[in-house]
Amino acid sequence: MGQSRTPLDVAALEHVAARGWRGWETGRLGGWLLRAGGGFTGRANSALVVGDPGRPLPEAVDAVTRWYAERDLRPTVQLPGIQARAAGAAFAAAGWERDEDTLVLTAPLPAPGPDPRVAVDLSPTPDEAWLAGYRHRGAPLPPAARRVLTGAEDVVFASVRLAPEPAPLAAVARGVVTDDWLGVSAVTVEEAHRRQGLATAVMEALYRWGAGQGARWAYLQVVASNAPARALYRRDGFIEHHRYHYRRAPLP
C-alpha cells in the first residue's frame, strides 16, 4: 500500500491527521482517542481506534457508546488499517453499521507547477463565501463547521473567485500543516466551473503554502467511490498509505 515510502506508520499518521482536523472536546480510552465536535464530520466526532483501549473489547464498545450518548452524538468509531480488525469485529458483533472505505493517500510534498492561470486567495480564516463554497458531502455546513475547520494550529483556506460577489466562489480548499505534513481537505469546485483546472490550482497553492511552513510530505483522504478525485490525486503522485472506515451504533 505504499507505507514504506513514508516515514510514519498507520497509527502515527492517523494521529497527525487527528491534530489537523479536531473535535473541540477529546477524551481517552486507553490508547483510543475520543473526539466530539458538534456532529460535523466523522473525523471530529468519532473514536480513533489505534492502540489498546485498556479493557476487554466488549467493555470498550460499551464505554465508547456511553461517551457519545452523554454528548447527544451517535456513537461512531474510526477503524484504520489492519490493526483495527479485532476492534472492528467487536463493534460489528454489537450491531454497529459499517461505512464505505476511505483511502488515506500520501506523497512527498508535490512540487508546484507553473504559476496558476487563475488567482488563488489564501486566508487564515474562512469567510462566509468560503463556507458557502464548501458543501460537505453535498450539504450546506452546520453551525459547528467553522469551529472544527479553524481548530488546528497552522491552517489556511484557499479560494478562487471568477465573478464578483454575490456570485459564489468557483473553488475552495483547506490546508493544514502538522509537524512536516501538509493535510489537504475540503477541495470543492462549483459545478459550473468543473473541468477547468481549478482543483489543481487550489491544490498547487496549498503545496506552495505548505512548503513555506516547512512541510515535506502531504496526505489527504478520499472515499473509495470518488474516482474523479482519486485520478486527480494520482496525477500529483499520491499513493494509498492505508484505508479506514467508520462504524456507527444502531439508531434507536
Amino acid sitting at position 21: W
For 127, the domain range is 110-215
Cα–Cα nearest to 174, from 139, 130, 231, 225: 130
| Position 93 in a domain | yes
Find the CATH number of the domain harbouring 182. 3.40.630.30
Same domain? 8 vs 83: yes
> Do 88 and 25 share a domain, yes or no?
yes
Is position 206 within any domain? yes
- pTM of the predicted model, to two decimals? 0.92
pLDDT < 70: residue spans in the chain: 1-6, 114-116, 136-138
Residue 139: CB atoms within 10 A of its CB come to 7
Kindly state whether residues 85 and 179 are assigned to the same domain: no
d(CA 232, CA 222): 11
Q: What is the predicted pLDDT for the residue at 1? A: 37
Cβ–Cβ < 8 Å for 202, 229: no
Which phi and psi (to 5°) does residue 25 adopt?
A: -130, 135
Please list the helix, strand and coil fractions of the chain in percent, rounded to the nearest 5, in that order. 30, 30, 40
The predicted pLDDT at position 188 comes to 93
49 and 116, same structural domain? no
Positive or negative torsion for Cα 36, 152, 123, 113:
negative
Q: Between the CA atoms of 22, 27, 30 and 32, what dihedral angle is there, to the nearest 10 degrees?
A: -30
* 222 is a domain residue: no
Residue 230 carries which side chain, given as an amino acid letter? R
Shared-domain flag, residues 52 and 22: yes
C-alpha span between 169 and 166 (Å, rounded): 9
HSE-CB of 14 using CA atoms within 13 angstroms:
26
Asked if residue 88 and residue 131 are part of one domain, the reply reads no
Quote the pLDDT of residue 249: 98
Write down the pLDDT at residue 196: 84
Q: Cβ(70)–Cβ(190) under 8 Å? A: no
| Domain count along the chain | 2
Residue 116: what pLDDT? 67
Looking at the fold, whether 23 and 65 belong to one and the same domain comes out as yes
